[in-house]
Structure 1
């Protein structure tokens, strides 16, 4: 995954918000990348590759049998968009 793509993804989510419609647009626009979402509190003690006001971006490595979070752009096959709670 290219750093430019991460910036494009973050810009789309920042503008449209993190919701099912935005995920559908991302999946259509970046068809070779898997997208999923959750609450940031559900992620655990992993640092995001991008922090934003309302969401954080994590990378997913799905090349092996089990999915795992990664910070390595070259091994990323997916993106996890995590909604940040205003109280955090």
Structure 2
């Protein structure tokens, strides 16, 4: 389970610090009970993000079973996937 306040805190940290290796390391340290992954948003296909931002989208991950899957339910979420949104020229 991920509480909505945690999701908002994580999103604010990424907004301020940017989505990079240092930010991910800090998030993993500060929110050690959660799993964090990173990718480019266009690698995800048609899934809608749980939270959309200008430079990144945030997806919830359910890792309770043997396979990871995206979820929109914070009660089932065990981690977050932070996806970088690339600006298209």
Normalised by the size of structure 1, how large is the TM-score?
A: 0.97
CA–CA distance in structure 1, aligned partners of residues 70 and 44 of structure 2: 9
Partner of 2:50: 49
Shift of 1:39: 0.2
What residue number does 1:35 align with?
Answer: 36
Q: Which runs of 4+ in 1 moved over 6 A?
A: none
Q: Does 2:15 correspond to 1:14? A: yes
Q: Which residue of 2 aligns with 1:68?
A: 69
* Structure 2 runs not aligned, ≥5 long: none
Shift of 1:87: 1.2
Distance in 2 between residues matched to 1:77 and 1:85, nearest whole Å: 26
